[in-house]
Structure 1
Amino acid sequence: MRRVTTALSAVGLLLAGAAPAAATPADGPVPPGDVALGDPAFTANVMAPLEVTDWADFEADLAAVAAYGVDAVSVDVWWGDVEGAADNRFDWAYYDRVFATITAAGLDLAPILSFHQAGGNVGDDYTSLLPAWLWEKYAGVTYRGVELGPTGLQHRSEQGNHSRESVQGWADPLVLAEYRDFTRAFEQQYGDRYATDVVEVNVSLGPSGELRYPSYNQHDVGTGYPTRGALQAYSPLAVRDLQREVLCRYGSLEAVNRAWGTDLASVEEIGPPADAEAFFTSRAYLDTQYGRDFVDWYNGSLVDHGERVLRTVIRALGEDFPEADIGYKVPGIHWSMTHPVHPRATEVTTGLIQTSVDVDSWATGHGYRRIVELADRFDGGPREVVLHFTALEMDDDPVEPAYSLAQTLVQWVGDAAHRAGVELKGENALAGGVRSDEGWDNIEEAFAGWGYRGLTVLRMDDVASGSGAARYAAFIARYRPAA
């Protein structure tokens, strides 16, 4: 099958569409300031281990953080552990003990409905695979004319590899019932017992529980930090969705060819980049109409996936856990941002930004506006939807090899959330960040200027003693002074 970038390269990749929109005349940052100061809704949480194995240490850490004012413990509720044995057969024994231990220490619960795999990512010291029955159950299903087969629910990358870490969003209509059933089982198990102890339910929307594609994960070669990663839009379901989206947008293949400067002979020739490396090194993702349309669809598909899963969970929870907000996590993909050949490329491969807007403009959230404003799609709903953003502890490092703007990115997202009226909370990306004064200084700077209203520390044992405990205790005291 002939791919679009092949056709574009034949005409020099310079038959691009319109340039990105210019920044607004008054474009500039709108620092929200220290909104958490004096806010009774400020929260200070910690993350539990991926799996508790030493219960005495766990209880000691809980007592330590509770003593200086931590509110709640975030706990991964692994789909593969609870429902791994068989479809609709749930084993809650481990979580019965975990939740009872946490609440006995006087701490609230912030469970994560973890519809993703544990293991294979930075900091993972535990493995929990998605239920094996899931792949088998849908292997014989045909959807949108595609017979799924054993890998039909999985992302497929530009390298032709499949990821089993999470279900691709293009398969959502098939598997939302699985997320609903799991959420209902969770609600039935704990809705009465911990009705007011659950203060937030976080929802996994992708690998590592984050709203992103598995673009720098282990199924592909040479795509880890600090590379651009790999596009994950090559499954038959993804390609079919792209074709439908493009045809819907332009109305006809003739209009597509006019917009893209191509001579595609059939809709079947519409697809993701045939040469992904050239797509980035030529800057087609920024400078061509095809590139911007593709990235728009890729980013929009991710945001729509987030909305579908969040709505499913909210409906399944019903009126149980009446005090609980709903949280989703967006990772700070901070590397390759100033790369001289393909700037912002890793944010593109992970699905986090658009390139049809001015990615240098504060008014567009530097490309993040749509993913930040996902929370706004739930305005007027039964629960507050909260965005959690990572990498608060990091510095900028805009030179080779990282080409990172981590600290700047924290500011961009803070500004975008403030403009959108989205409640924003933060996390550190790496555990080491809360073992150093520099990391804590950066966290405090993010709160002082950029609108973060709560912090979840990865992980609890890093702030149960030593300098991590001292800095977190002082941080909490600033935002929640003693009466």
Structure 2
Amino acid sequence: MGASFKALELAGVEGVVLELWWGVVEGDAPGVYDWRGYTDLVSMAGHHGLKVRAVMAFHQCGSRPGDPYWIPLPRWVLEEMDAEPNLAYTDRIGQRSKEYISLSCDNLPVLKGRSPIQAYSDFMRSFRDSFKDFLGSVITEVQVGMGPAGELRYPSCSSEKLKRPNSAPELGEFQCYDKYMLASLRACANKVGMHELGYGGLLRASSLFQNVEETNFFRSDGCWNTDYGRFFLEWYSGMLLLHGERLCIVTKAIFLQTGVKVSAKIAGIHGHYHTCSHPSELTAGYYNTLTRNGYLPVALLFSKYKMFLCCTCFDMQDGEEDGSSKSSPEGFLRQLVYAARMHNLSVSGENSITRLDDRSLKQVIRSSRLYSVGAHEASLSFNYVRMDRHLFDPHNWPRFTRFVRQMSDAKTFQAKLDFSGRERRLYSMSATDKVIRSFVYH
């Protein structure tokens, strides 16, 4: 690791990103934190003049395609979820996900007398106090996890189903069938006089891989665009935004006056983007359709608390996707960047697939320029995911360094590079005028 950091330093890398896993640090008992290992990595980064972006990882790792290792939620949390299955997200057929605790329990004392929000807050306070000598100097940014894969979303697609080879993009399943979510839905339905919607969750929901136009809810003239559908989707997405706001509030308060910037991540969901209903986004919690911009409320939320917005898809082109799925990563990214610019919100981009081919690297450059149009005070950074032994292969490293030079040669910005590995990311920042372009290697 020391040799890798030295190489990155010589390459002009700005800093590294560390994912600090809840299941590792507080894995054995509630309130008992073990930061060893992470302390060594932060010290090593500082020794080589590298900055650190620290990710508060409150989710499970290892169940998604491409995850490099397995880290579950803390053992004592899983014991609570086994005793009370309704702490897990649940879909209409009763499948439960243990990637992240259901947001419906945010303020309930279900974790040995603490609520999930209290547990997340205590974890971040322990991190702040344990790394106080590094905050603002070595550790310059904190990213708070808000859901599965650290993203503000519902686990709308089963991890096992995602592993199906050559499968079409999933519609997703609404995650509103644990008893706490149903109680919230019932209360909201009663409040507005739609009592029939408050019992049993969403009616006429569709299966994960069903054709969009064969569904009652998502087809062009489906229930999504009725009073019934609009009420449900506003409640469902509103619960997600409320969860995000709770975490924004506590994170900003904990790291106030520490000298670090705070960020959060949303998912780059682009399957079925060129349909009227955008089903993959709806089931994930983003109320984005042909007639409604679902990313403006998210951008407004992060802007309200002066947080960076992180997202993927910077390396993807529409032509790479199956045309029959009506997927559009470029369309998604344009819409998200527009929403961020509307609220003068700083963005940190990522690649969706680990690769170093010229086509994807050139696409990153094109995508980065989306944010450089016009004058605004916000910044754009890029996180390259991820570091492994292949990065330093003789045929990859020259291409990677050439990519850095290409970004640096662009007229709108200059770039240095910063790096992190398996539990660290690499990102670089430099600025011309008010625009910052960063590279991050994960």
Fold in common (TM above 0.5): yes
Q: Give the aligned partner of residue 377 of structure 1.
A: 304
Query: Paired residue for 1:386, among 303, 308, 327?
Result: 308
How far is the alpha carbon of 1:131 from its aligned partner? 0.9
- After TM superposition, list the pairs within 5 Å mapping 1:154-233 onto structure 2: 154-174=88-108, 175-218=116-159, 226-233=169-176
Query: Paired residue for 2:340, among 404, 417, 420?
Result: 417
Q: Which structure: larger Rg?
A: 1
Query: Paired residue for 1:103, among 26, 43, 46?
Result: 46
Q: Whole-Å Cα distance in 2 between the matches of residues 128 and 188 of structure 1?
A: 24
Which AA in structure 2 matches 1:205? M
Match of 1:279, SS state, is coil
Which AA in structure 2 matches 1:346? S
Q: Whole-Å Cα distance in 1 between the matches of residues 89 and 391 of structure 2?
A: 36
Relative to structure 1, the CA distance from residue 300 to residue 68 in structure 2 (aligned partners, 3 Å threshold; closer, same or farther) is same
Contact 1:159 1:220 in 2 (8 A): no
How far is the alpha carbon of 1:406 from its aligned partner? 0.5
Which AA in structure 1 matches 2:291? D
Contact 2:156 2:172 in 1 (8 A): yes
Pick which of 446-455 and 80-89 moved more. 446-455
Query: Paired residue for 2:381, among 454, 463, 466?
Result: 454
Q: Give the aligned partner of residue 358 of structure 1.
A: 291
Query: Paired residue for 1:151, among 85, 92, 109?
Result: 85
Query: Paired residue for 2:179, among 236, 239, 246?
Result: 236
Flag the structure with more relative contact order, 1 or 2, with Cα contacts below 8 A and sequence separation at least 6.
1
Match of 1:152, SS state, is helix
CA displacement, residues 178-225 of structure 1 (integer Å, 9 cap, x when unaligned): 011101111111012444111110011111111111112326688876
Contact 1:427 1:458 in 2 (8 A): yes
How far is the alpha carbon of 1:411 from its aligned partner? 1.0
CA displacement, residues 230-272 of structure 1 (integer Å, 9 cap, x when unaligned): 2111111111111222333x2xx3xx27xxxxxx3xx753622
Q: Give the aligned partner of residue 276 of structure 1.
A: 206
How far is the alpha carbon of 1:334 from its aligned partner? 1.1
Contact 2:185 2:198 in 1 (8 A): no
Contact 2:81 2:88 in 1 (8 A): no
Match of 1:313, SS state, is helix
Query: Paired residue for 1:348, among 270, 282, 289?
Result: 282
Contact 2:217 2:224 in 1 (8 A): no
Residue 268 (structure 2) pairs with residue 336 (structure 1): no
Match of 2:49, SS state, is coil
Q: Give the aligned partner of residue 480 of structure 1.
A: 414
Q: Give the aligned partner of residue 401 of structure 2.
A: 469
Which AA in structure 2 matches 1:454? S
Q: Give the aligned partner of residue 261 of structure 2.
A: 325
Q: Whole-Å Cα distance in 1 between the matches of residues 282 and 198 of structure 2?
A: 24
- Unaligned runs of 5+ residues in structure 1 are 1-57, 140-148, 258-263, 360-365, 379-383
CA displacement, residues 418-442 of structure 1 (integer Å, 9 cap, x when unaligned): 112222221111112xx01111221
Matched-pair identity in %: 26
Which AA in structure 2 matches 1:337? Y
Q: How many pairs does the alignment contain?
A: 386
Contact 1:99 1:109 in 2 (8 A): yes
What TM-score does the superposition give when structure 2 sets the normalisation length? 0.80
Pick which of 413-422 and 59-68 moved more. 59-68
Q: Whole-Å Cα distance in 1 between the matches of residues 124 and 24 of structure 2?
A: 14
Q: Whole-Å Cα distance in 1 between the matches of residues 223 and 43 of structure 2?
A: 50
CA displacement, residues 330-385 of structure 1 (integer Å, 9 cap, x when unaligned): 1211112235xx75110111112245x814xxxxxx3321122221232xxxxx31
- Unaligned runs of 5+ residues in structure 2 are 109-115, 208-215, 373-378, 417-431, 433-442
Residue 20 (structure 2) pairs with residue 92 (structure 1): no
Which AA in structure 1 matches 2:400? G
Alpha-carbon RMSD across the aligned residues, in angstroms, is 2.6
